[in-house]
Structure 1
Amino acid sequence: MNMPLNTLANTADPVEQARFNMIQQQIRPWNVLEQDVLETLTAVPRELFVPPEHEGLAFMDIEIPLQGTPEEAAAKGWTMLQPRVEARMLQDLNVKSTDRVLEIGAGSGYMAALLAHHAREVLTLEIVPELAEMARENLAGAGVANATVRLADGATDPLPEGPFDVIVLSGSVAEVPTALLQHLAEGGRFGAIIGKQPVMRATFVRRLGNSFETISPWDTIAPRLHGFAEPSPFKF
């Protein structure tokens, strides 16, 4: 059972100590300081969303492979993002208890669980059948009742009934998929990691009527979400 944040520092439990170290050494230095976000990281057991063969990596500052070899997982986006990236995305999306959230790229279900801790409901889409089933099992095992996993391609399949207060892509894309912005409610927020290596930026778009306000406050690198358009490398 996870402990409150203010007691983690004094525990002899090695899992809880590793969780405390993750928060103090990886997440706080990345300007994740909102108390409700930090408490969510203690309440949602990240170790339950990691494949058993990588259990020892649950709290490390790396992208964890979810299936296949590490090289294949990285190339195909079959990974959990680094904890600091997930935490910073959660903080900057400012998810509220009344929000309806759409995530594209369920992976193991961990980000959906974090979002669900704050939101009214979460719908998460996953293109890989094995990962969709993994996410369902992990969310059920963690007791998350307000997150639903759907097998779908978030880039090309018709989207579920909107609008959504938050849309988040758990992976990188080359450019903001403008079609997704039309599924935002008034005041809704979109978040994704945009660009290509070696330069990607966390980008957040807020809908204000028929206009959109965009900010890109921090840099990072993340594996690609497949299916989204890539700009042509040729210029004339």
Structure 2
Amino acid sequence: MNTVDWPAQRCNMVEHQLRARGVRDRAVLDAMLRVPREAFVPEAVRESAYQDSPLPIAAGQTISQPYIVAFMIEALGLQGGEWVLEIGAGSGYAAAVLSEIAAEVYTVERIEELAAGAAQTIRSLGIRNVQVRCGDGTLGWPEHAPYQAIVVAAGGPEVPESLQTQLQIGGRLVIPVGGDPTSQGLIRITRISETQFDGEDIADVRFVPLIGAQGWGKPSSDKWPQSRNLPFNAMVDRK
């Protein structure tokens, strides 16, 4: 039986998908080298874990292509030691990459199946500085604010006010925004003062819609999940 050389695939990804396309932040490149992306994708597509495209994960969602993950994290300008908020945990891969740079990572996922799976994978890898919450990501995670950096892995019609208020002065928020739920511009917002924010367009992107009270609205089919932090063993509390 053939055995996949995962470290070699990670090296190839970093050299040909990231560095060759302009990602230069050494901390980001090193983090992408260390985190096993294959652990965050389903068994059926595991051999494609390092291909240059999104891949399907549970609940009909996708994991972003490696370049987009690296590009967005680099855009945060992390120096190391920050508190970072991620909206849209998905399988937990980006949170794991962030954990290699930041002091603490707080990630919010609205789909319980994904939140539980992300927490379980993260803990199985021995990562201890990531906390996962299931709930409305557009409202952020105010208990741990302010954050030095916030990254959003879904596209909203505008920047949620809750996320802006939870950003530390001098901090950066990277988020896809656009009037079309399937096509957005990636913008980086820097908080200048209590009331002043500076924004810049950095890329054209296509993300899933940001669903929530300050996004594209609540899901139409399912009852909105009550926000809850996933305990250490990654089991969802269904009281």
Q: TM-score, normalised to structure 2's length?
A: 0.81
- Give the structure 1 partner of residue 203 of structure 2: 218
Aligned partners of 1:107 and 1:126 also within 8 Å: yes
**Which position in structure 1 is the counterpart of 2:143?**
160
Q: Pairwise mapping of residues 108-187 of structure 1 onto structure 2 (< 5 A)?
A: 108-156=91-139, 159-187=142-170
2:26 aligned residue:
35
2:175 to 153, 178, 192: 192
* Distance across 1 between alignment mates of 2:83 and 2:182: 33
Contiguous gaps of at least 5 residues in structure 1:
1-11, 232-236
Q: 1:191 to 1:158 in 2, by over 3 A?
A: closer
The size of the alignment, in residue pairs, is: 212
The alignment partner of 1:160 has SS state of helix
Distance 1:199 1:79, change over 3 A: closer
C-alpha contact 1:95 1:115 (8 A) present in aligned 2: no
For residues 150-201 of structure 1, the C-alpha deviation after alignment (integer angstroms, 9 at most, x for no partner) is 1111125774331111111112222222331011111111111222377522
- 1:188 aligned counterpart, secondary structure: strand
Match of 2:215 in 1: 229
Q: Does 1:206 align with 2:197?
A: no
Q: Given that residues 206 and 212 in structure 1 are in contact (C-alpha distance below 8 angstroms), is that contact kept between their aligned partners in structure 2?
A: yes
Q: Which residue of 1 is the match for residue 234 of structure 2?
A: none
1:60 to 35, 51, 66: 51
Q: Check the 8 A contact 2:184/2:206 in 1, yes or no.
A: yes
Report percent identity of matched pairs: 33
Q: Are the equivalent residues in 1 in contact too, given 2:190–2:197 (CA < 8 A)?
A: yes
CA distance in 1, matches of 2:7, 2:141: 41
5+ residue gaps, structure 2 = 218-239
Change (3 A) 1:161 1:197: closer
The counterpart of 1:81, out of the listed 47, 64, 73, is 64
